[in-house]
C-alpha cells in the first residue's frame, strides 16, 4: 500500500509514498530504513505543526496535513489551517451573501414589473387613442401579379397612397 490516511492530534493526515520509491526501498535496505525513519517521525511533526499554528495570533486550528514522498525520496508537506474551526464566520458570510443576492433579485424583479406595467400603460393609451381617432394599426393589402417585382410595386403603391405603415406580406400567383 502506498497511501494512508489517519487522524493525528485530531487532524486528518494523508501520507502518500510513490510506488517507484517503494520499489527502490524493496531493493535497497538503506532507502527502506530512510522511509521507515521518516514515516515514524510524521506523528511528532504533526504535533509540532499543531503547536506552532496554535501559537500564532488568532489561535488558528490545523485542518489537514498531507505528506508526499516522491520517486526520489523527496518529502513535501502541505497543511491548512483556519481561524474559523466551527464555521461560524463562514456561515455568517454565506447568510449575508444570500441576503444580498435576494435583495438584488427582488430589485431586478421590481424593475421588470415596473417596466412591464409601463409597457402595458403605453399600449393601453395607444389603443385608446386609436379608438378615439377611429384608426387601427391592422390593415390588409392584396396585390396580384405575374412576378415578384410587379406585386411588390403594387403593394408599395397601396401602402404609400393610403399612408399606411407596418409590415406587408404577399403571395405571387402565376
Domains of the chain, residue spans: 3-85, 86-135, 139-174
Strand-pairing partners, residue 4, are 15
Q: What is the DSSP string of 53-79?
A: HHTSTT--EEEEEEEEE-TT--EEEEE
**Spatial distance between the Cα atoms of 152 and 85, rounded to a whole number of angstroms:** 77
Question: For 37, how many CA atoms within 13 A lie in the half-sphere containing its CB?
Answer: 9
Q: What is the DSSP string of 69-126?
A: E-TT--EEEEEEEES-TTSHHHHHHHHHHHHHHHHHHHHHHHHHHHHHHHHHHHHHHH
pLDDT tier, 38 (very low <50, low <70, confident <90, very high otherwise):
very high
Mean pLDDT of 35-64: 84
- Considering only residues 32 and 63, tell me which one the structure prediction assigns the higher pLDDT: 32
Residue 31 parent element (H or E): helix 29-54
pLDDT tier, 27 (very low <50, low <70, confident <90, very high otherwise):
very high
**Spatial distance between the Cα atoms of 40 and 55, rounded to a whole number of angstroms:** 25
| DSSP label of 137 | S
Residues in the chain, overall count: 174
Residue 154 parent element (H or E): helix 148-162
Mean pLDDT of 33-49: 92
| Per-residue confidence (pLDDT) for residue 1, from 0 to 100 | 43
pTM above 0.85, yes or no: no
pLDDT tier, 125 (very low <50, low <70, confident <90, very high otherwise):
confident
| Cell 502506498 sits on residue | 2
pLDDT digits (tens, 9 = 90+) for 51-107: 887 776 666 788 888 999 999 999 999 988 887 766 677 778 888 899 999 999 999
Amino acid at each position: 500500500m502506498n497511501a494512508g490516511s489517519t487522524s493525528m492530534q485530531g487532524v486528518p493526515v494523508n501520507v502518500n509514498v510513490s510506488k517507484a520509491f517503494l520499489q527502490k526501498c524493496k531493493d535497497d535496505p538503506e532507502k527502506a530504513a530512510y522511509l521507515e525513519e521518516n514515516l515514524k517521525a510524521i506523528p511528532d511533526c504533526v504535533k509540532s505543526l499543531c503547536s506552532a499554528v496554535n501559537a500564532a495570533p488568532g489561535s488558528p486550528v490545523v485542518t489537514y496535513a498531507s505528506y508526499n514522498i516522491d520517486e526520489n525520496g523527496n518529502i513535501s508537506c502541505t497543511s491548512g489551517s483556519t481561524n474559523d474551526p466551527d464555521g461560524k464566520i463562514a456561515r455568517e458570510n454565506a447568510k449575508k451573501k444570500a441576503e444580498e443576492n435576494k435583495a438584488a433579485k427582488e430589485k431586478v424583479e421590481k424593475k421588470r414589473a415596473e417596466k412591464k406595467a409601463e409597457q402595458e400603460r403605453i399600449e393601453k393609451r395607444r389603443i385608446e387613442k386609436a379608438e378615439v381617432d377611429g384608426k387601427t394599426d391592422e390593415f390588409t393589402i392584396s396585390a396580384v401579379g405575374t412576378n415578384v417585382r410587379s406585386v411588390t410595386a403594387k403593394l408599395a403603391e397601396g401602402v404609400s397612397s393610403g399612408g399606411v405603415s407596418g409590415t406587408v406580406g404577399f403571395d405571387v400567383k402565376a
